[in-house]
Structure 1
Amino acid sequence: MADEDRVVIEHPNRRKASSQLARLVVIVLLLASAAVVLIVSLGGWDTIEGAKPLQVAYIVLYVVFALFVARWSRGVLPMIAALAVILAIFGAVAAPAWFDRAKDGFTDPAIASDVLGLLCAVLVALQVALLLSALIGFRQRWNVEVERRREAAPA
């Protein structure tokens, strides 16, 4: 048997319950954020001025990042945290604007403006939670590898 056949690579930090929980929380928050952005985008599509490509990009990126995190990719976590900060800023700016549109004289979006404003406020809270969860996951060092020799089978 060759030497490389006797070596097994393990990731001990991935077996910890805290690492598995952090990974699950990041995935759920990414998918929930993508869903909220999708609802706001579709609900206000006719009244949104110019951020449509950016919203579509966030939806696609968050779903792709959820797949990466599901495969234990630790490298995307800092990028997730950075994008969460940017999206939280956009949501914090957009929420009052949607609430201001809930008056006479404005074009009505497909979903009520108050609901879209509330969803933007929820999006801000989701992004803060996503930022914290991504940073916690990054500190858990999912990428640590330990080589272990496989014991030979008894003859």
Structure 2
Amino acid sequence: MAAERDVVIEHPNRDKASSKSTKAVVILLLLASAALVVIVTVGGWDATAGAQFVSLAFAAIYLAMAFYVAQWNRGVLPVSAALAMILGIFAAVSAPGWFDRDATGYTDPAMGADMLGLLTAVIIPVQVLLIAFAMRGFQQAWNIEVERLADGTTRVMPS
């Protein structure tokens, strides 16, 4: 039992500057994505024809994933990349619709349709960046653990 207290678990890949910067960028991109989705959803609430729940669910999931990435949870990175692909497709399909709302018969959104179209178009490159950085973070192996014993020796734990 005394030997177990002399063991310190270290995560060497989390100490690297590249891992820390990737983590920060992924968190920033998740938060930016959630904010953009909420702004577009609230700004176009009357014009989104029942898609509000899906949009708010995306924002809530992105916020939860940002929390887990902040805790060095590597498992949510591929999930965030997959959801970013889906959201990017949704944004690519819906962005032209915001710009085409100048015809008669369309409901006027609370925010200008051109501004909502621009914000929706901005979501696309943010999702592409999120995919790239999430996959980069996944490749950095944040989960590797090293046991450092009291005598200075180390053991790499299998992941």
Deviates more, 1:33-42 or 1:46-55: 46-55
Residue 45 in structure 1 maps to residue 45 in structure 2: yes
Give the match for residue 110 of structure 1. 110
TM-superposed CA distance for 1:151, in Å, is: 4.6
Question: Matches of 2:143 and 2:54 in 1, distance apart?
Answer: 31
Where structure 1 has 5 or more consecutive residues not aligned to the other structure, the ranges are none
Question: Matches of 1:17 and 1:52 in 2, distance apart?
Answer: 39
Letter in 1 for 2:88: A
The count of residues paired between Structure 1 and Structure 2 equals: 152
TM-score (norm 1): 0.95
Give the match for residue 58 of structure 2. 58
Deviation by residue 1:101-155 (Cα, 9 ceiling, x = unmatched): 1334422100111111111110011000000000000000000000011359xxx
CA contact (8 A) 1:92 1:121 kept: yes
Deviates more, 1:99-108 or 1:124-133: 99-108
What SS class does the counterpart of residue 60 from structure 1 fall into? helix
TM-superposed CA distance for 1:52, in Å, is: 1.3
Deviation by residue 1:62-81 (Cα, 9 ceiling, x = unmatched): 00000000000000000000
| Aligned sequence identity (%) | 57
CA contact (8 A) 1:65 1:76 kept: yes
Question: Matches of 2:126 and 2:102 in 1, distance apart?
Answer: 24
CA contact (8 A) 1:102 1:112 kept: no
Question: Matches of 2:102 and 2:118 in 1, distance apart?
Answer: 12
Give the match for residue 87 of structure 2. 87
Deviates more, 1:43-52 or 1:134-143: 43-52
Deviates more, 1:13-22 or 1:48-57: 48-57
Within 5 Å, give how 1:1-155 maps onto structure 2: 2-151=2-151
CA contact (8 A) 1:102 1:114 kept: no
Letter in 2 for 1:73: N
What SS class does the counterpart of residue 47 from structure 2 fall into? coil
TM-superposed CA distance for 1:50, in Å, is: 2.3
Question: Matches of 2:103 and 2:14 in 1, distance apart?
Answer: 51
